[in-house]
Amino acid sequence: MPESAGGITGRSNSRTWRTPLRLAIRFGLPLVGVFVIGRAVAASIGGNIERGQFALGILLIALGFASRLVSGR
């Protein structure tokens, strides 16, 4: 009887959905943060300074870099 690709425990199957999620968090959050900050900078040139957008952008970038500190199994 053949075993599954992940063996008896099925560890391979659990990693397949976590890898794209991990990549999206690691690289997607900083990219979205840069986009949000870019929009805030463009809006601030017109005189509409929204500190909340700047804070959200910095938070997203920080979360993206903090995700790199968490070790994967």
* Predicted local confidence at residue 56, as pLDDT: 95
Residue 37 lies in a domain: yes
pLDDT in tens, 2-17: 555 555 555 556 668 8
- Give the total number of structural domains in the chain: 1
For the chain, percent helix, then strand, then coil, each to nearest 5?
A: 70, 0, 30
* Identity of the residue numbered 35: F
* SS3 state at 29: helix
- The region that residue 71 occupies, defined by phi over 0 for left and psi between -120 and 50 for alpha, beta otherwise, is beta
* Predicted local confidence at residue 14, as pLDDT: 60
pLDDT in tens, 5-58: 555 555 556 668 888 888 888 899 999 999 999 999 999 998 888 899 999 999
Are 57 and 41 spatial neighbours (Cβ–Cβ below 8 Å)? no
Range of the domain at 48: 25-73
70: DSSP letter:
S
